[in-house]
């Protein structure tokens, strides 16, 4: 009963049907006809192009947080589009890689389709087209990432390894900023509620954006490290766990309160998976596991209390409501955004922050301008309406269900199992922070989101290569 329910939520039962639909569609038949053409039968060249596409994906995550891309995102979009073009051309030239459609694709296509309709119906067509253009790049990234990861789990390790190296470099830069007490680039604290403290922003020029980039890396790095342990590859294990520790500390130093909550839920999820797995497989150690569940959180809280000045104030300021200026600001933006959604609940005002800004002026309270709703579910609804919320929610539910199935139900290789567990925990961290912030829409966060999606979508699929 539970297994059937999980399969339903994971959309796994739709995989065979959706593959038939795709193959019988006009686009599917056209690509298949071109693929079978003898004129394009150059498999060696095709495979080289597809390997170059994978190399571009790996490079993308190795440079994602580079300072040049804090403001200029065009290069990242061009890299992604070019890599997708290389992979598709390689497929047409009979390269050895082939992407297998998944039931999760349905939710992605539905989300894209409703955003296209929202763009066409928007009063702010030019601004909405700009937002739709960015969404199309991310959807292309989803299909590209799933295509390259279906070939081998080893590719996931390579891409994650480069992502971790980039995160370590950014964290070290942040540690240096914390050491020299770097001056803020803007007013980020409320002096009436908390004393001023150092908030690092790394290479991304904004502590909240840096936190959004880091919080999902910490849980997936934990999963990566545990995967190394179960595979008895202790170098991989050390690399993953050290990355998780460094990234977690750097996240604390950002002072981002939403990230604190997200990190708590993300690391809590992967640690719960570890304790639950050990509880099931090693009953003789349950007493020590129970003690660890009680002692470790206390030690972590004490470490933050004594090691990070102002940490207690930042955490407590979450619960003071409108007494903190940042809280009050968000509340005003939420109220205005909810009114925007009520008036545009069917198709929204159009995708992207440019359309949002144009519409928000009609609802905002004077002095509380904003570039977004500071709440991801609300942002989805404001931009593209209720169907967009439902399709995005269906995507998230399907991902959590696939992660659950891979971790607990499916007969999956242990390393793959823990990568899926880490991806679920990372997604949890990202979604929790998204309740009170919209850095989710920045490319440094959005590309990681689609990376997590691709890891989970391909976690149960049989790999072409032996791992």
User: Helices (DSSP H) in 369-442: which residue ranges?
Assistant: 376-384, 386-404, 414-433
- The two tokens of residue 369 are 């301008």
pLDDT mean by block of 10 residues, the chain; 467 residues: 83 92 90 78 91 96 89 86 96 91 96 97 95 96 96 92 96 94 71 68 91 96 94 93 95 91 94 90 83 80 72 72 77 93 95 93 81 93 96 97 88 87 96 91 95 93 47
Distance between CA atoms of residues 166 and 148, nearest Å: 21
DSSP secondary structure code for residue 441 in this structure:
G
pLDDT at 170: 96
Structural contact between residues 250 and 171, judged by C-beta atoms closer than 8 angstroms:
yes
Structural contact between residues 129 and 119, judged by C-beta atoms closer than 8 angstroms:
yes
Distance between CA atoms of residues 382 and 388, nearest Å: 9
pLDDT at 467: 38
**In the chain, what is the greatest distance between 2 CA atoms, to the nearest angstrom?**
73
- The two tokens of residue 280 are 């099931």
Structural contact between residues 100 and 14, judged by C-beta atoms closer than 8 angstroms:
no
Distance between CA atoms of residues 37 and 418, nearest Å: 41
Structural contact between residues 214 and 166, judged by C-beta atoms closer than 8 angstroms:
no
- CA nearest neighbour of 87 among 166, 182, 180, 151: 151
Distance between CA atoms of residues 231 and 162, nearest Å: 20
Q: Inter-axis angle of helices 153-179 and 125-149, to 10 degrees?
A: 120
- The two tokens of residue 71 are 């403001």
pLDDT at 188: 56
pLDDT at 466: 37
Predicted TM-score of the model (pTM):
0.93
DSSP secondary structure code for residue 317 in this structure:
G
Distance of alpha carbon 358 from its chain centroid, rounded?
Answer: 27
pLDDT at 434: 93
Exposure string of 364-401, with b = 16+ CB inside 10 Å and e = fewer, is: beeeeebebbbbbbbbbbbbbbbbbbbbbebbbebbbb
DSSP letter string, 128-147: HHHHHHHHHHHHHHHHHHHH
Q: How many helices (H) does the chain have, and how many strands (E)?
A: 20, 0
- CA nearest neighbour of 168 among 57, 59, 65: 65
Distance between CA atoms of residues 147 and 461, nearest Å: 11
pLDDT at 465: 42
- The two tokens of residue 372 are 């977004």
Structural contact between residues 49 and 90, judged by C-beta atoms closer than 8 angstroms:
yes
Phi, then psi, of 433 in degrees rounded to 5: -60, -35
pLDDT at 317: 72
- CA nearest neighbour of 273 among 449, 458, 423: 423
DSSP H or E segment with residue 250: helix 234-254
Tell me how crowded residue 284 is: count the other CB atoms within 10 A of its CB.
Answer: 6
Distance between CA atoms of residues 211 and 199, nearest Å: 11
pLDDT at 194: 58
Tell me the CA distances in angstroms from 29 to 36, 89, 123, 239, one per residue in order. Answer: 10, 16, 36, 45
Structural contact between residues 250 and 218, judged by C-beta atoms closer than 8 angstroms:
no
Distance of alpha carbon 143 from its chain centroid, rounded?
Answer: 15
């Amino acid at each position: 009963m539970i297994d059937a329910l999980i399969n339903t939520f994971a959309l796994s039962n739709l995989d065979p049907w959706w593959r038939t639909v795709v193959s019988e569609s006009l686009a599917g038949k056209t690509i298949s006809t071109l693929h079978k053409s003898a004129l394009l039968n150059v498999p060696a060249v095709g495979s080289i192009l597809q390997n170059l596409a994978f190399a571009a994906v790996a490079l993308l995550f190795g440079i994602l947080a580079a300072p040049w891309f804090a403001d200029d995102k065009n290069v990242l979009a061009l890299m992604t589009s070019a890599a997708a073009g290389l992979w598709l051309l390689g497929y047409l030239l009979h390269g050895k890689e082939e992407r297998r459609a998944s039931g999760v694709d349905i939710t992605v296509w539905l989300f894209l389709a409703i955003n296209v309709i929202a763009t066409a119906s928007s009063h702010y067509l030019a601004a909405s087209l700009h937002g739709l253009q960015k969404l199309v790049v991310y959807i292309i990234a989803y299909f590209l990432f799933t295509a390259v990861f279906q070939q081998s789990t080893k590719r996931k390790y390579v891409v994650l390894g480069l992502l971790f190296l980039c995160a370590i470099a950014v964290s070290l830069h942040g540690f240096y900023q914390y050491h020299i007490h770097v001056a803020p680039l803007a007013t980020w604290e409320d002096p009436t509620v908390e004393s001023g403290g150092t908030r690092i922003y790394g290479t991304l020029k904004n502590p909240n954006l840096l936190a959004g980039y880091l919080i999902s890396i910490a849980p997936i790095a934990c999963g990566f490290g545990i995967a190394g342990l179960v595979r008895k590859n202790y170098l991989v294990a050390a690399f993953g766990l050290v990355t998780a520790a460094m990234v977690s500390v750097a996240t604390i130093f950002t002072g981002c309160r939403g990230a604190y909550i997200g990190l708590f839920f993300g690391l809590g999820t992967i640690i719960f998976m570890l304790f639950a797995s050990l509880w099931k497989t090693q009953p003789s150690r349950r007493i020590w596991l129970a003690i660890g569940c009680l002692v470790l959180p206390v030690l972590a809280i004490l470490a933050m209390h004594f090691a990070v000045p102002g940490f207690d104030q930042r955490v407590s300021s979450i619960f003071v409501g409108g007494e903190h200026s940042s809280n009050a600001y968000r509340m005003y933006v939420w109220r205005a955004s909810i009114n925007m959604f009520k008036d545009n609940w069917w198709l929204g005002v159009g995708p992207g922050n440019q359309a949002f800004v144009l519409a928000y002026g009609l609802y905002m309270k004077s002095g509380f301008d904003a570039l977004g709703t500071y709440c991801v579910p609300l942002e989805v609804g404001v931009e593209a309406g209720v169907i967009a919320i439902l399709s995005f929610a269906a995507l998230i539910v399907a991902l959590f269900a696939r992660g659950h199935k891979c971790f607990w139900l499916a007969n999956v290789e242990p390393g793959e199992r823990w990568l899926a567990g880490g991806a679920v925990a990372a997604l949890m961290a990202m979604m929790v922070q998204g309740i009170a912030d919209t850095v989710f829409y920045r490319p440094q966060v959005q590309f990681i989101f689609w990376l997590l999606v691709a890891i989970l979508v391909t976690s149960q699929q049989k790999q072409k290569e032996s791992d």
